[in-house]
Amino acid sequence: MGTVLSYITPANSGRSDDPDPVTGLTSKEKYLVRTSWAKIMKNPADSGVALLCLLFERHPEYVQLFPFSDVPPSEFKTNVRFRAHANSVVYALSSIVDALNDNNLLVQILTKTGSSHVPRHVTADAFIHLKEVTIELFSTIFKADEVAAWKKTFEVAFSVIIQGIETVFMTNKNIKIKRLDYQKEIGKMQILFEKHPEYQQLFPFKNLRREELKTSNKFRAHCISVMYALTCIVENVSEPLILEQLLIKQSTSHVLRNVPDQAYWDIKTVILSIVASSMNPSEVFVWEKFLKFAFRIMVATAEETRNN
């Protein structure tokens, strides 16, 4: 459990209001979270409805992930399915509040929350957006010190939830990523340089005009190299140790070429656009989760390599 939240492990001098050695929350902050939460639990269904209505107002695209996707927004507040799910969301948050003094239980609840939402196509971004709208809602109900305590709690909680989502790709031997037709898609890599021409300066074909790329052997050779490197990574998605070493190797080699961290996220967007042109939404979802997981490892490795 220590590795899950090791980046927030403040020293504890023995005072009762010192930060918790795992969560970083003080006893006062935990008290503020519990006492403010009691206001929500006076009417959990209505509180949950207010939260989900705000979430879908800010991010209507998420409605499609729920069993009430066929319900018009104007009927949310009175719809039985909507209210039932809203109630369950509040009780899920309540389980987190109740476990604030039991770190082992807390981490298990949060990790399970993340991993259990992967089959439902709920992304890490969706949880981040849920965190944001929850704080927005709480800011209209709670005092400033209570909101501050919730913000700190959520920073810890949602980081573990997101890790739970990503861990699926390290532990699930049944994860299947549909392969791209790499030979067919090679030419589409030019999209990267159309959107981000500055990156072309990092490659051996930096002096070519963009209209020359498609017919350039240098460009095609590099595209083939990228695609086969991607194939190798995808083929080892169920082999965590091999996968990690492949990602570290790729990242380290790109640091030497002065490839910036942002380039990883830009290439992720390009790959997803290629994937989306030939696969169904469920297949694209798996690719999106895998690429986010893989590139986070590569960016973290790059930062560590530069610092050393």
Q: How far is 210 from 198, CA to CA, in rounded Å?
A: 12
- What average pLDDT score do residues 98-127 get? 86
The pLDDT score that the predictor gives to residue 11 is: 40
210 belongs to a structural domain: yes
- What average pLDDT score do residues 30-54 get? 95
DSSP E strand boundaries for the chain: none
Residues 107, 203, single domain; the answer is: no
Residues 192, 166, single domain; the answer is: no
Residues 206, 164, single domain; the answer is: no
The pLDDT score that the predictor gives to residue 9 is: 39
Query: Taking Cα atoms as reference points, which of 239, 236, 252 lies closest to residue 297?
Result: 252
176 belongs to a structural domain: no
* Count of positions (residues) in the chain: 308
3 belongs to a structural domain: no
Among 170, 199, 232, which residue terminates a domain?
170
Residues 239, 264, single domain; the answer is: yes
Among 138, 170, 202, which residue terminates a domain?
170
The pLDDT score that the predictor gives to residue 119 is: 74
The domain of 48 spans 27-170
Q: What is the DSSP letter of 140?
A: T
161 belongs to a structural domain: yes
17 belongs to a structural domain: no
Q: How far is 265 from 285, CA to CA, in rounded Å?
A: 16
Q: How far is 192 from 203, CA to CA, in rounded Å?
A: 12
Q: Give residue 146's pLDDT band: very low, low, confident or very high (50, 70, 90).
A: very high
The pLDDT score that the predictor gives to residue 121 is: 75
pLDDT tens digits, residue range 3-26? Answer: 344 333 344 433 456 788 778 899
Among 170, 201, 226, which residue terminates a domain?
170
Helix (H, G, I), strand (E, B) or coil at 10: coil
| Mean pLDDT, the chain, integer | 83
Residue 76 pLDDT > 90? yes
Q: How far is 281 from 111, CA to CA, in rounded Å?
A: 25
Residues 266, 158, single domain; the answer is: no
Q: How far is 244 from 45, CA to CA, in rounded Å?
A: 43
Residues 188, 166, single domain; the answer is: no
Residues 146, 204, single domain; the answer is: no
Q: Give residue 176's pLDDT band: very low, low, confident or very high (50, 70, 90).
A: low
The CATH number linked to 219 is: 1.10.490.10
Residues 118, 197, single domain; the answer is: no
Percentages helix, strand, coil for the chain (3-state, rounded to 5) are 70, 0, 30
Query: Taking Cα atoms as reference points, which of 57, 81, 66 lies closest to residue 133?
Result: 57
pTM given for the model? 0.58
Residues 166, 187, single domain; the answer is: no
The pLDDT score that the predictor gives to residue 208 is: 86
68 belongs to a structural domain: yes
Residues 54, 162, single domain; the answer is: yes
CA of 113: how far to CAs of 1, 75, 177, in Å? 16, 28, 23
Residues 133, 193, single domain; the answer is: no
Helix (H, G, I), strand (E, B) or coil at 16: coil
166 belongs to a structural domain: yes
Q: How far is 252 from 238, CA to CA, in rounded Å?
A: 22
Number of domains in the chain: 2
Residues 160, 235, single domain; the answer is: no
Q: Is 234 in contact with 290 (CB distance < 8 Å)?
A: yes
104 belongs to a structural domain: yes
The pLDDT score that the predictor gives to residue 187 is: 62
The pLDDT score that the predictor gives to residue 60 is: 92
Q: Is 106 in contact with 161 (CB distance < 8 Å)?
A: no
- What average pLDDT score do residues 144-170 get? 86
- What average pLDDT score do residues 42-53 get? 95
